[in-house]
Amino acid sequence: MLTDDQVAGVRANFPILQEKTYLYSCSQGALSYAVVAGLDDYVASWRTSTAPWDVWMGAYESLRVSFARFINAEPDEIAIINSASGGINPIASALHFDARDGVVMSEYEFPTMGQIWLAQQPRGARVRFLDGVGNAVPVEAYARAIDERTRIVPLTQLSFLNGSRSDVPAITRIAHDNGALVFLDGYQDCGTRPLDVKALDVDFFVTGTLKYLLGPPGLGFLYVKRALIDSLVPTMSSWFAQRDIFAFDTRHLDLAPSARRFENGAPNIPSIYGAAPALDLLTRVGMENVAAQIERLARTFLDGAKALGIATKTPASSVGPLVVLRAADPAAALAQLTERGIVVSTRMDGVRFAFHVYNDMADVHAALNALEGMQGLMVSA
Ligand SMILES: Cc1ncc(COP(=O)(O)O)c(C=O)c1O
């Protein structure tokens, strides 16, 4: 657990925290001086070299190694991609929908997850959405829906809509017992707690750098379990997906034997330079410390909102990072919070308060104080 002084030290890296109560990491993490320095390094590398690709390829491979370590994977299990969608699509394209044609997912997945698998319908996929009960999809609903015809279970680790947390081990067990694959979407959680994809035993994992990983947009990571890579041949490809990127062999498709076979063209070099120091910053703070700070803040905020009589969408068991409160007038609630310098976002009837290690109790109290005068705009519990 971080001391108040240590949290203050973390906060000093993020200039916006001096001006705003920043509870917006579910949409975009705050910019740190470390990331600014990384982006400056990128500009310098471009300015000082006429052929900086060797240097840039070094930064790209080095980020692959750092991210692999961050989630307890091997570097050759990681593809560097330009969006989470850009990681899901090549896997969807590589799967066959024959006797196993089922795709089973919660209604609380991020839209891109639903849309990418729905786009596989002309290829034979049968997509089924599971309804939530009280803002969570029970494990039993997965148990009833997954069977020997299920090809894959796309699974949000934490829902962008209501902050509910999926029981990943239980759902993965059910899927694997039925011979189905699991594709975990960690974009709303990665960067907030230690993550071990091997312990979770998921087959695929995707995330992006923009939110809790505190990096720039336009960059993400796809993990593919080593044993699956050889058997997956995507129908979308690129020169960066080849065994030897710089073979320049237009007449041959020779896919990389690693997860790089799922990459789509030249990587986003500026974002790589920005994302690396952000990952380093989180690692140095310590992911156990990050998780403990987030849990403390999210619990206090959730308790405070309940004490104010405001209806919540997030189950207490989620322990952050996202707490979503139900609003009667989300647009007006957003406007009032913005006026008070509290940076949040809305989705449907929910106002989203996202906590990260750089938030402190003063942020929690600032948000609760603002909400105290806003009960008319919120739904009562
Ligand atoms: C859980 C989740 N998955 C996927 C996405 C989509 O990411 P991208 O735009 O990188 O494809 C988001 C973006 O907000 C998200 O929150």
CA dihedral in degrees (264, 267, 268, 273; nearest 10)?
150
Of 160, 183, 209, 213, best ligand 1 pocket probe by most atoms within 8 Å of the beta carbon: 160
Q: Whose CA is nearest to atom 7 of ligand 1?
A: 84
Residue/partner pairs of 371-377 with CB below 8 Å, 24 or more apart: 371/305, 371/308, 371/310, 371/325, 372/308, 374/333, 374/336, 374/337, 375/308, 375/309, 375/310, 376/328, 377/327, 377/328, 377/329, 377/332, 377/333, 377/336
Closest ligand 1 atom number to CA of residue 217: 10
Q: Is the Cβ–Cβ distance between 186 and 168 less than 8 Å?
A: no
C-alpha 26 to ligand 1 mean position (Å): 10
CA pair distance 122, 73, nearest whole angstrom: 33
* Domain boundaries, given as residue ranges, for the chain: 4-30+286-377, 36-282
CA pair distance 340, 225, nearest whole angstrom: 46
Please measure the distance between the N-terminal and C-terminal CA atoms of the chain and give it in whole angstroms.
32
Architecture of domain 4-30+286-377 in this structure: Alpha-Beta Complex (3.90)
Closest ligand 1 atom number to CA of residue 186: 1
Closest ligand 1 atom number to CA of residue 210: 10
Q: How high is the pLDDT of residue 49?
A: 84
Query: Can you give the C-alpha Rg of the chain in angstroms?
Result: 21
Q: Is the Cβ–Cβ distance between 230 and 260 less than 8 Å?
A: no
Name the fold adopted by 36-282: Aspartate Aminotransferase; domain 2 (3.40.640)
67: three-class secondary structure by DSSP = helix
Q: Whose CA is nearest to atom 9 of ligand 1?
A: 83
pLDDT average per 10 residues of sequence, the chain (381 residues): 97 98 98 98 93 94 98 98 98 98 98 98 98 96 98 98 98 98 98 98 99 98 98 98 97 98 98 98 98 98 97 93 98 98 98 98 98 95 95
CA pair distance 193, 204, nearest whole angstrom: 18
Q: Is the Cβ–Cβ distance between 208 and 274 less than 8 Å?
A: no
Q: Which residues line ligand 1 (CB under 6 A)?
A: 83-85, 110, 112, 156, 160, 185, 187-188, 208, 220
pTM higher than 0.85, yes or no? yes
CA pair distance 25, 343, nearest whole angstrom: 9
CA pair distance 350, 378, nearest whole angstrom: 9
C-alpha 84 to ligand 1 mean position (Å): 6
C-alpha 47 to ligand 1 mean position (Å): 33
Q: How high is the pLDDT of residue 50?
A: 81
69, amino acid identity: R
Count other Cβ atoms within 10 Å, centred on residue 289: 17
